[in-house]
């Protein structure tokens, strides 16, 4: 199949500052067989007014309160009718030509397609390339989620489940780990599909994520010991990163972790 229907979901809440760039990156794709769905959490700023400008390119718009990011993701997935589904948040952008390249790689057999993500710090101008991880061990100390450049078939969501709404920070890692451990077929794609704008929950201190991190490991078959090794390993990584950033600048760790 060289003309699969691709569903793209954008979730938003008070995203007036960035959502137009996101929408333009989707509707401006060179690939035509696209279903675009926007799930808004009941924005009170100009988000919906901006979406209204593109209403002829949006297949479905839902605007209502939700129970968090995972719930919004799942709402969008439930509305999709495509052969493969991607999620691009309201402060991130698809790269030009990404959906055409995805369509060319679509084979009707793979569950999860994983392309590269450009990591962008708008405050410093830094850009690096995140190459997606293809294996998800019980203790995921060094993992590249590349969530924005991950595309999943609806059959895979039905078989392995959607996002766990009890997670606020680790819903994407939980989902990919669950898929991997259940034997989902994943394909790595050698192109840049999306650009991730650093910010949001990314900057939440790691100690605030402690319980969720440990619960994610336990949920996916890890022991009490493994869950603690994961948390303290990530804690040490975070401490080193913050120290190095103070000494060498905000993007020092990113320059090491992500390819230019």
pLDDT score for 255: 60
Q: Is the pLDDT of residue 41 over 60?
A: yes
pLDDT of residue 260: 55
Residue 259 pLDDT > 80, yes or no? no
CATH number at residue 99: 3.90.550.10
Query: Does the residue 1 lie in any domain?
Result: no
Q: Is residue 235 part of a domain?
A: no
Q: Which of 102, 178, 172 is nearest to 144 (CA)?
A: 172
Share of the chain above pLDDT 90, in %: 81
Does residue 122 belong to any structural domain of this protein? yes
How far apart (Å, rounded) are the C-alpha atoms in residues 257 and 251?
A: 10
Q: How far is CA 58 from CA 36, 143, 186, 255, in A?
A: 5, 33, 29, 37
**Are the beta carbons of 13 and 43 closer than 8 angstroms?**
yes
List the single range of 35-44, 60-69, 248-257 with lowest mean pLDDT. Answer: 248-257
Quote the pLDDT of residue 42.
95
Contact 35, 81 (CB under 8 A): yes
Reported as a single tens digit per residue, the pLDDT across 22-38 is 999 999 999 999 999 99
Print the domain residue range for 56.
6-200
C-alpha separations of 129 from 103, 175, 255 in Å: 22, 22, 10
Looking at residue 242, its pLDDT comes to: 79
Quickly state the pLDDT bin for 257 (edges 50, 70, 90).
Answer: low
Tell me how many domains the chain contains: 1
Give Cβ neighbours of residue 213 (< 8 Å, ≥ 6 apart): 169, 170, 206, 227, 230, 231, 234
Any domain includes 96: yes
Query: What's the mean pLDDT in 182-195?
Result: 97
Position 193 scores a pLDDT of 98
74-92 average pLDDT score:
97
Assess if residue 139 is contained within a domain: yes
User: Is residue 60, in this structure, part of any structural domain at all?
Assistant: yes
Is residue 2 predicted with pLDDT exceeding 90?
no
State pLDDT tens for residues 114-162.
Answer: 999 999 888 888 889 999 999 999 999 989 999 999 999 999 999 999 9
Residue 247 included in any domain? no
pLDDT of residue 34: 98
Per-residue pLDDT reduced to its tens digit, 165-180: 999 999 999 999 999 9
Is residue 20 in some structural domain? yes
């Amino acid at each position: 199949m060289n003309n699969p229907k691709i569903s793209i979901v954008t979730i938003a809440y008070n995203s007036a500052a960035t959502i137009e760039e996101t929408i333009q990156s989707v509707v401006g794709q060179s690939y035509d067989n696209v279903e675009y769905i926007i799930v808004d959490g009941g924005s009170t700023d100009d988000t919906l007014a901006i979406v209204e400008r593109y209403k002829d390119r949006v297949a479905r718009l839902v605007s209502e309160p939700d129970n968090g990011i995972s719930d919004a993701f799942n709402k969008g997935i439930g509305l999709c009718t495509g052969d493969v589904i991607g999620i691009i948040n309201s402060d991130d952008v698809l790269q030009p030509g990404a959906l055409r390249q995805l369509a060319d790689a679509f084979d009707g057999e793979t569950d999860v397609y994983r392309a590269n993500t450009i990591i962008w710090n708008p405050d410093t101008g830094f850009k690096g390339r995140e190459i997606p991880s293809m294996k998800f061990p019980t203790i995921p100390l060094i993992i590249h989620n590349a969530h924005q450049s991950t595309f999943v078939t609806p059959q895979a969501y039905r078989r392995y489940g959607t996002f766990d709404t009890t997670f606020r920070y680790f819903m994407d890692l939980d989902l990919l780990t669950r898929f991997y451990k259940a034997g989902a077929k994943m394909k790595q794609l050698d192109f840049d599909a999306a650009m991730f704008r650093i910010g949001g929950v990314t900057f939440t201190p790691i100690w605030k994520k402690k319980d969720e991190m440990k619960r994610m490991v336990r949920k996916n078959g890890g022991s009490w010991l493994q869950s603690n090794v994961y948390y303290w390993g990530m804690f040490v990584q975070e401490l080193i990163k913050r120290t190095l950033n103070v000494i060498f600048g905000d993007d020092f760790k990113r320059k090491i972790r992500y390819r230019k």
